[in-house]
Amino acid sequence: MNAQTHIPLRRTKIVATLGPASDREGVLEAMLKAGVDVVRLNFSHGTADDHRRRLLQVREIAAKLGRSVAALGDLQGPKIRIARFKEGAVSLKEGQPFVLDMAMDSDSGDVHQVGCDYKTLAQDVGAGDRLLLDDGRVVLDVTRVEGQQVHTQVVVGGKLSNHKGINKQGGGLSAPALTDKDKQDLKTAVEIGVDYLAISFPRHAEDMLEARRLLGEEGKEIGLVAKVERAEAVADEATLDGIIEASEAVMVARGDLGVEIGDAKLVGVQKRMIKRARSLNRAVITATQMMESMISAPLPTRAEVFDVANAVLDSSDAVMLSAETAAGDYPVETVQAMARICLGAEREKVAQESGHRIHEGFTRPDETIALSAMYAANHMTGVAAIACMTASGYTPLIASRIRSGLPIVGLAHNPVAQRRMALYRGVVSLPFDTSEMSATELNDRALELLVQHKLAEPGDHVILTRGDHMNAHGGTNTMKVMTIAE
């Protein structure tokens, strides 16, 4: 770790997707310097070798910069898409009939009909259902189903091109969350060493549990992220809670989710999901179109500024960039703009106050210590930081569920735990090898590290949490208020 590295005290983390734009000379390093905490490897695009190469570069640059940067692999999920048109695209007119034909040749679509990659569509829909194509830009109402043909009437017309996605309003498409391609990509994710793996389109907790089983022993340290993007996933509280509890983190994936439940409902669902995930001690990422205009413009719109700021004020652990950094013209400027907006929102008092679990009882010693430390830090004058000696990163995660303006410093020997903590709101992750330290010098060395990284100064108070036995998961049982010697 480079002693001179300045660690920014931005609490909300930034997830940035890698792609051709970040492959340009010097761009990836500039993105990490600008504040990327988690890189996303999108398995919908690129080869296994592309993802391996990019992750190796990230690890090298992060080591050079003295930073812990997590890697999030993102599985494609089921491709519920139309097939292709003879001419590449057609223009549909309002009121015209249009047929989705499961038995049709994949390349011979025209203005009257097109094939479909999702062969069970005819079993999943019936007369009266509404289908939304290309993120809702084209809307079709099902009039009847005959064998392998879904007959529809165009409600909202426009241009429709090859391979556009299909959503059913209100949900109900039966495609499994994990396809054969996903299962192969999951093996790649384990092999290249991602820290988190995002599962697309889970319908219920069992989809997440299946992914956990497939990860097996080799992938046991990979955190699962549920991409909540189906109407079924948010249809009732029990289903959503089950998905959250079966995951290490959740993503508010607003693209497909917005299409399936409608924009009007999406606002409330986003806020409820963030609140619920935090209540259940899971990290939460807000994603989709956050800085979309910056794909081709050097500055965000005011609406995008407010969107990112609202996600911060809602207490998202992280905000995510997709095409902006993977394929956009201004990947570095986008990260810089997002960091500025996060810092601006975090200066608001509401972002630093918390009533999290204040009326609830606790059952675990480590939870009790973590939450007590945060309340003490938020109410005691002169506290500069909360330092958590941790084997797994669990204590900093619990502590970070409480809003604060103070840094939570995760001190871990395990590099996997260090990187996992890169996703948690307000947590600064530092390597801390206790194997050669006596019990009496542990605390002093921890305080020295905080001073070295300019997270605290002589005269400051630091609240320190630790266990009697270092590197034991769930062993945190002690909280100390310490003062750094002048």
At 367, the pLDDT band (50, 70, 90 cuts) reads confident
pTM score, two decimals?
Answer: 0.92
**What is the pLDDT, as a whole number, of residue 351?**
54
Q: What SS3 class is residue 191?
A: helix
- Cα separations in angstroms, 1 against 64, 65, 188, 237: 8, 8, 29, 44
Q: Give the contacts of 321 (CB within 8 A, at least 6 positions apart).
A: 14, 15, 16, 17, 290, 291, 334, 335, 338
Each residue's pLDDT tens digit, 376-426? 888 889 999 999 999 899 999 999 988 888 999 999 999 999 999 999 999
Q: What number is the average pLDDT over the span 358-383?
A: 77
CA 3 from chain center: how many Å? 29
Is residue 7's pLDDT more than 60? no
Q: Which pair of structure tokens corresponds to residue 94?
A: 């309002």
**What is the pLDDT, as a whole number, of residue 2?**
38
Is residue 173's pLDDT more than 60? yes
d(CA 21, CA 330): 8
Q: Please give the sequence-ordered ranges of beta strands (E in DSSP) within 358-475, or none if there are none.
A: 383-389, 408-412, 427-431, 461-467
- Token look-up 């203005």 returns 111
Question: Which residues are part of the catalytic machinery?
Answer: 40, 81, 227, 288
At 185, the pLDDT band (50, 70, 90 cuts) reads very high
Is residue 301's pLDDT more than 70? yes
Q: Of 272, 477, 275, whose CA–CA distance to 366 is shortest? A: 477
DSSP assignments along 112-149, one per residue: SEEEBS-TTHHHH--TT-EEEETTTTEEEEEEEEETTE
**What is the pLDDT, as a whole number, of residue 402?**
86
At 363, the pLDDT band (50, 70, 90 cuts) reads low
